[in-house]
């Protein structure tokens, strides 16, 4: 096997072996579908449900993920810059933000629904609560790790504090920010599903709840697989965007 093909072929081979073993075990031991459905049963359930309906539920979840993630970025990046550049703001607000992040989101999701209603807004709040913290911390870390000699040079030529942040610290922080984006986009998937568990009439999370209540476990697992594929795809797309936006970053940071 060529070395350049190993990272592609080996995972594919392992996946095929896993699916084959799963199918064999379920059929050989006659495991009931409501305990562990076979891969073929999952595929049949998805086909029976219909790809048009699956697409509708997938699109609803994807809308929640992308909107919630965008809100998280808009809130977290300026907040991270502020905490990194203002010691007083950091001492005042960072403990509160840590406390907020420490609260299990699934515990407050029903409270959010009661407070703001059962629409999309409640789900967006849940997504934002999960996604904003890693993005904010990564942004602040990147700002604080800006090269001191470059900052000193900027100070020497008369650049103001905010000019040094905008022209030196912020570009340096871009790879760090994308590290937070990758974590945040996966968190956004989790938040969207939690929001749909609590309050939704569409989406893959809603589909999982409805399928399990009907003991249609193959359909529930099909929805979970779509969620997993969506999460991995969004993670990889974020990494691809990072290589385009920050080509100067070392490979280890990418």
Longest dimension (CA), the chain: 76
Q: How high is the pLDDT of residue 252?
A: 43
Q: How high is the pLDDT of residue 178?
A: 94
247: tokens are 């080509």
Residue 250 has pLDDT above 70, yes or no: no
Residue 235 has pLDDT above 50, yes or no: yes
Residue 58 has pLDDT above 90, yes or no: yes
Q: How high is the pLDDT of residue 2?
A: 65
Q: How high is the pLDDT of residue 202?
A: 87
- Name the average pLDDT for the chain: 89
Calpha distance 63→61 (Å, rounded): 5
Residue 253 has pLDDT above 60, yes or no: no
Calpha distance 39→218 (Å, rounded): 8
**Averaged pLDDT for residues 38-54:** 88
Confidence of residue 224 (pLDDT cuts 50, 70, 90): very high
Q: How high is the pLDDT of residue 61?
A: 95
Q: Where are the domains of the chain?
A: 43-245
Q: How high is the pLDDT of residue 70?
A: 97
**pLDDT, tens digit, for every residue of 78-125?**
999 999 988 888 888 888 888 888 888 888 888 988 888 878 899 999
Residue 251 has pLDDT above 70, yes or no: no
**Averaged pLDDT for residues 227-250:** 87
- 43-245 has which fold? MetI-like fold (1.10.3720)
Three-state SS letters, the chain: CCCCCHHHHHHHHHHHHHHHHHHHHHHHCCCCCCCCCCHHHHHHHHHHHCHHHHHHHHHHHHHHHHHHHHHHHHHHHHHHHHHHHCHHHHHHHHHHHHHHHHCCHHHHHHHHHHHHCCCHHHHHHHHHHHHHHHHHHHHHHHHHCCCHHHHHHHHHCCCCHHHHHHHHHHHHHHHHHHHHHHHHHHHHHHHHHHHHHHCCCCCHHHHHHHHHHCCCHHHHHHHHHHHHHHHHHHHHHHHHHHHHHCCCCCCCCC
**Averaged pLDDT for residues 26-53:** 89
Considering 46-50, 67-71, 89-93, 166-170, the range whose residues carry the highest mean pLDDT is 67-71
206: tokens are 């809603």
């Amino acid at each position: 096997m060529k070395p350049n093909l190993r990272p592609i072929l080996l995972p594919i081979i392992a996946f095929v072996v896993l699916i084959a073993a799963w199918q064999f075990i379920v059929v050989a031991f006659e495991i009931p579908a409501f305990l562990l459905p076979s891969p073929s049963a999952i595929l049949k359930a998805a086909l029976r449900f219909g790809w048009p309906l699956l697409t509708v539920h997938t699109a609803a979840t994807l809308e929640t993920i992308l909107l919630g993630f965008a809100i998280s970025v808009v809130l977290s990046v300026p907040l991270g810059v502020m905490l990194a550049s203002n010691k007083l703001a950091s001492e005042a607000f960072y403990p509160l933000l840590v406390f907020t992040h420490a609260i299990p989101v699934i515990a407050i999701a029903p409270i959010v629904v009661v407070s703001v209603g059962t629409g999309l807004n409640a789900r967006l709040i849940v997504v934002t609560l999960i996604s904003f913290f890693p993005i904010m911390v990564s942004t602040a870390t990147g700002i604080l790790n800006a090269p001191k000699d470059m900052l000193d040079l900027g100070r020497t030529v008369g650049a103001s504090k905010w000019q040094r942040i905008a022209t030196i610290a912020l570009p340096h922080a871009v790879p760090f920010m994308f590290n937070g984006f990758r974590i945040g986009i996966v968190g956004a998937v989790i938040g969207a599903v939690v929001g749909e568990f609590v309050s939704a009439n569409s989406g893959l999370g809603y589909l999982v709840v409805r399928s399990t209540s009907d003991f249609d476990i193959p359909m529930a697992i099909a929805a979970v697989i779509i969620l997993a594929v969506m999460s991995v795809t969004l993670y990889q797309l974020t990494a691809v965007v990072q290589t385009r936006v920050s080509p100067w970053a070392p490979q280890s940071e990418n």
